[in-house]
Amino acid sequence: MKSRIIKIVFVVVLAIGTMSFADEYFEISKNIDVFSALFKEVNTYYVDDVEPSKLMRSCIDGMLKTLDPFTNYFSGSQVEAAKIQQGGKFGGLGIEIEMMNGYPVIISVTQNQPADNSGLKVGDIIKSISGLSTKDKKKEDVDKILVGEPSSRIALTIERKTSLLDSKPVSFNIQREEIQENSVPFYGMITPEIGCIKLKIFNEHAGKDVKDAFDSLKRTNPNMKGMVLDLRGNPGGLLNEAVNIVNVFVEKDQLVVTTKGKVDEWNNTFKTLNDPSDTKIPLVLITNSSSASASEIVSGTMQDYDRGVVIGQRTYGKGLVQVTKPLSYNTILKVTTAKYYIPTGRCIQALLYAEKNADGSVKRIPDSLKVAFKTKGGRTVWDGGGVDPDVKLAKPEHSKIAETLFTKHYMFDFCTNYKLTHDTISDPAQFKLTEKDFNDFVAYIRTRDCSYKTESEEKLEALKDAATEEKYFDAVKGQYEAIRKKLEHDKEQDIIKNKEEIITVLENEIAGRYYYAYGKVKKSYQNDPEVTKAIELINDSKQYTELLSAKK
């Protein structure tokens, strides 16, 4: 009797499971049929001609928009760009551009890459590519043209300043080469006893690049007593490279990350595979709100093992894993398949993409639902909101005048002029602008439009709009004008008041003109409060140890 009941239950469960599967399959099949019929009717009967490919792309993008921003469809023409994003390898020139006054301008040149070897310079204006004008093109369109097959050639006509007042056209015919984005634009000693590695991206050589950089610093600086790993602004990349970077500082065969999703056979566990370089040296990791994904695996794992102190701002909070799936006609789908969990078992995903607020925005995981976990040494850490630093530092703020000078490219243009009149500068660590240089900058800005509105001015204008709409403005117009005049700011005085900040930005940019990305980063670290704090922590062994202790 008992065995008969078990058989009946088994059959019922099997039937329910089969029905459930059949229902799900029917829903998919039904909706595909409905969509196919609708698509056909619109194409056939809509009053104006429609482009089926554009219509379909809108449908696909609209569907994926309901999921998360990391699940994307790539058409055949976008596949190459997607491969670049995944692996960081492509045929190109080794430049970065930005649109200024309707034309692409070179804002960065990678050392010893085709553009650099051919003589292209930061500040060059690209007027045409292969005979086609670049005027008023979109940046992404210009980027697509610049990238191509390795060994293919590309013709550029640029406009280059030859003096403060004159410029001339120069033509180049350059062979593209396979470009591997440099994951470590800077490594070096920031004090006689403290090293630093800036990690820009997790591409396929990131783990090796970090290990080589660390081993080189350790070998050439036997008295090195601490290491800073700068992850600020690093958007992530390849998960296995995050594991390799952790392995530089953590023992072999230690858990780093586990991925869990709907498809069980895709779940995976990643452990360190190699002997580490150093498991004892004091380590400080710097993060900010743009440190995401693989950056959070590295910083979170170091925190979970009490292997290093994390300082800065809370990280982005991306605890999702994507894979690429090939589709027909050379298209691909990058789809989120799992969440990842770092050694304590916590997931740092901050947003609930499946849930929306009333205004349509994505819900954040509320503090009430966050769960506490314990690090290896017993410290309390939390899930659901990125990696919270052990030492929280205020986000660097910039003055309105500095932001205006930067976004209007006046600082960039001044640095281009500076390079024209100065053949060389000293090492970035020693380079400083003189008082005359600053006065030259102030004089240069006098001829430029630096207008901007302070927060007070914006609020006053909003008050005027509200008063005008409610027909009260005429009664208070005199008082309004008096307040407006008192709030008016003198752009030259604003520059002088924020002299130190402006000089710092100018010196960083100028250092990059002579010493590439390495020089720009090296110079920036001299006036970086977060780097200064990292140095302070390493030099204060008691404070460093207490921060990693559960008793603090």
Question: Quick one: three-class SS letters along 169-229?
Answer: EEEEEEECEEEECCCCCEEEEEECCEEEEECCCECCCHHHHHHHHHHHHHHHCCCCCEEEE
pLDDT at 480: 84
pLDDT at 75: 85
163-178 burial string, b = 16+ CB within 10 Å, else e? eeeeeeebebebebbe
Closest by CA position to 431, among listed 539, 320, 506, 534: 506
Percentages helix, strand, coil for the chain (3-state, rounded to 5) are 45, 20, 35
- Give Cβ neighbours of residue 333 (< 8 Å, ≥ 6 apart): 71, 72, 73, 74, 324, 325, 327
What does the pLDDT profile of the chain (552 residues) look like in tens digits? 545 544 544 444 444 445 455 666 788 888 899 999 999 999 899 999 889 888 999 999 999 999 999 999 988 777 765 555 555 457 899 999 999 999 999 999 999 999 999 999 999 999 999 999 999 999 999 998 999 889 999 999 999 999 988 999 999 999 999 988 899 999 999 999 999 999 999 999 999 999 999 999 999 999 999 999 999 999 999 999 999 999 999 999 999 999 999 988 889 999 999 999 999 999 999 999 999 999 999 999 999 999 999 999 999 999 999 988 889 888 889 999 999 999 999 999 998 888 878 777 888 888 888 999 999 999 999 998 899 999 999 999 999 999 999 999 999 999 999 999 999 999 999 999 999 999 999 999 998 988 887 778 888 888 889 989 888 888 888 888 888 877 777 788 899 999 999 999 999 999 999 999 999 999 999 999 999 999 999 999 999 999 999 765
Q: How many helices (H) and strands (E) are present in the chain, helices listed first?
A: 17, 23
pLDDT at 128: 97
Tokens at residue 497, please? Answer: 């008041």
What's the pTM?
A: 0.87
What is the DSSP code (8-state) at residue 148? B
Measured from the Cβ of residue 279, the count of other Cβ atoms closer than 10 Å reads 15
pLDDT at 337: 94
- Compute CA distances 258 → 110, 199, 237, 369, 388, whole Å: 36, 23, 16, 21, 20
Closest by CA position to 452, among listed 496, 490, 508, 409: 490
End-to-end CA distance of the chain: 63
Contact 195, 184 (CB under 8 A): no
- Compute CA distances 319 → 10, 69, 385, whole Å: 38, 13, 9
Indicate left, alpha or beta for 464 from its phi (over 0: left) and psi (-120 to 50: alpha).
alpha
Tokens at residue 162, please? Answer: 């030859």
Axis crossing angle, helix 410-421 with helix 499-524, rounded to the nearest 10:
70
Measured from the Cβ of residue 443, the count of other Cβ atoms closer than 10 Å reads 10
124-139 burial string, b = 16+ CB within 10 Å, else e? bbbbbbeeeebeebee
pLDDT at 24: 67
Phi and psi, residue 267, nearest 5°: -65, 145
Q: Are strands 351-356 and 362-364 parallel, antiparallel or unpaired?
A: antiparallel
- Give Cβ neighbours of residue 204 (< 8 Å, ≥ 6 apart): 87, 88, 89, 238, 241
- Angle at alpha carbon of residue 331, lines to 328 and 336, rounded to 5°: 110
Q: How far is it, in rounded angstroms, from Cα 133 to Cα 268?
A: 50
pLDDT at 170: 97
- Give Cβ neighbours of residue 405 (< 8 Å, ≥ 6 apart): 411, 445, 450, 495, 502
**Cross-strand partners of 228:** 196, 284
Q: How far is it, in rounded angstroms, from Cα 519 to Cα 509?
A: 9
Phi and psi, residue 491, nearest 5°: -60, -35
What sign does the CA torsion over 508, 514, 516, 522 have?
negative
pLDDT at 22: 61
